[in-house]
Amino acid sequence: MFPRFKRLPGKRAYRKMFVIAVEGKKTEQDYFHILNSQNSVIHIHCIKSSNQSSPSHVLKRMDNYLKQQSLRKTDEAWLVIDRDMWSETQLSELYRWSQRQTNYGLALSNPKFEFWLLLHFEDGNGIATPRECSTRLEKYLPNYQKAININNITVERIDNAIKRAIKKDKPPCVDWPRNPGTTVYRLVEKIIKEL
């Protein structure tokens, strides 16, 4: 756990929950696990993919979870997905879902989640394709194979990624970034605020 993210005395004792339905099987879950801790006032629960990563499958996993487990008003549910080759119609369905409740959210990375990881190290300028994103990320994470080494994600790098993502999100997109960028920073900011 990061020293800066420890709970301050006097803060509420209950554990706020972030339920996050992710598209991928490994990377996103590894990343959000880094922010999770048994000692914090938050709990991050990732609903990962088996092999079905389409937007409708991500949404279905979230809806099924929410039918079985009710959220408190202070808890949050987020869909985390890549732009990939998904159609505007598919992504619009996720955006409409995120607007149903004030504690629902959509975090989308264009072209993929690794763009968010890349922003931990650099500005990500000149990235247009998923392949370019992976190639550039390997400069900082040699032999990257979807697994994240916790030592590579530091408080300072998370702060830098948030700043870089905000800079790319000007003016802030309403639904999701059409150009290379990411709104994952919005979710990470909320998590860090609770720590």
CA atoms 121, 7, 69, 101: torsion sign:
negative
- Domain positions in the chain are 15-194
Comparing CA positions, the residue from 46, 45, 175, 172 lying closest to residue 99 is 175
| Share of residues in the chain with pLDDT > 70 (%) | 90
The dihedrals phi and psi of 46, each to the nearest 5 degrees, come to -95, 130
The SS3 assignment for 112 reads coil
pTM here is: 0.90
Query: For the segment 121-164, what is each residue's pLDDT rounded down to a tens digit?
Result: 999 999 999 999 999 999 999 988 888 888 899 999 999 999 99
pLDDT-derived band at 1, boundaries 50, 70, 90: very low
Q: How far is the CA of 179 from the CAs of 41, 49, 57, 111, 137, in angstroms?
A: 35, 25, 24, 8, 18
* Integer Cα distance of 21 and 40 in angstroms: 21
Query: For the segment 46-71, what is each residue's pLDDT rounded down to a tens digit?
Result: 998 777 889 999 999 999 999 999 89
pLDDT of residue 11: 52
Query: For the segment 172-189, what is each residue's pLDDT rounded down to a tens digit?
Result: 999 999 999 999 999 999
